[in-house]
Chain A
């Protein structure tokens, strides 16, 4: 009885599903979905190789400092870094004094109160502060950016498919909208105030091209500041910003894997030792060797079975 009832339920679900399939497919063929500009012109990030990639990856501190410089001189005007504190910059190889200097000279001051009157005020940043937001609130950020909100960059390489490669591709991917696209999808023409970028999900991004010319940032270490170099460096910096503990993770990972490998091998040897006598199978491989025969006899005797 119960089986009939359940069988009926199963048949009902299956029939409704096949009906959904049928009506879905017939709609699909009678009224095929229009191709979109995003489907045809969106590009996946170009491959990018950083020193921090892979299980043994380490940060290239020289590069992180260059990337930080790009962030400071270009990105920081609009993008916050709210989860990162100034003292974290010691991870980039800066000394404590240098970090203090960077904090106190940071272009945006930290919201505070006037100690005399209690009125809202600002003060220079301390090493213990997190990076202050460039805008007091979201409304101010949108008002200053044509109603677009510049995202916080602390976690950006984790929060976007493709990570650092996506950042690098986006920064170097600005171009004129292909004529073919406008010809094929006249409605998808980049609107006024937006910029065409095939690496951005909907192809039109509100951020003006931030890295436009070689030498926009003057590197202290003499690395030629090409647009590609600056984009790579800032992407590397943002990988660090999203996970300053990445090197600890890799180092701990190696130690744990080595330990577990050792423990597992020892465990396996112990297991073989424990099971040696009770081994459930005695395999006779190839020609029957006397040794295997003896093993089988022993196992059989132990199990109380005649040969």
Chain B
């Protein structure tokens, strides 16, 4: 059976990379004595998959990892066992059983929500709140994307599903495309808004927290985004 595990990442551990987190969980699952499935072949490894790698330095309230297990006592038991062998800053918040029909974690990713806060002293000169409506009204927002084959221009406007700014704070919330073909980084959005006003982001200006990762359960072209583990059940 497949479990979808939702976890938070915060505090100093935000500096661990994706591979570090993978290695961390491989050991944690063994410490927790979870009946995880190993692959066949000469060097068997745990059957484990992450939905969307998180960049170094970002915190998250909604990361997802799928593991294949032979059996469990209950979802709550898995959650408690894992948290008992975890470290401050890596916290399991939910464990659900996936239906057999569920797609693999990474392929299921459609969008992600982020909270973006400007560090004190690094706010832009531009009045962002005033600039947002005009930005969102644009048909196209072209940015330069660096790929292995060189630079190419990409239109990120269709991938920005929601973008708002909090009253009285240098805090923005956005919901953007996070699929493997159309992934948009929050910094790219902020750079694009500022570029309209001939400004650049200051170095490390943003404190970014991923709030959740979504899959699209909509039909016939109509998008219906739900958190990645909405499709699972607790047992």
Q: Do A and B bind each other?
A: no
Interface residues of chain A, those whose CB is within 8 Å of chain B, are none
Interface residues of chain B, those whose CB is within 8 Å of chain A, are none
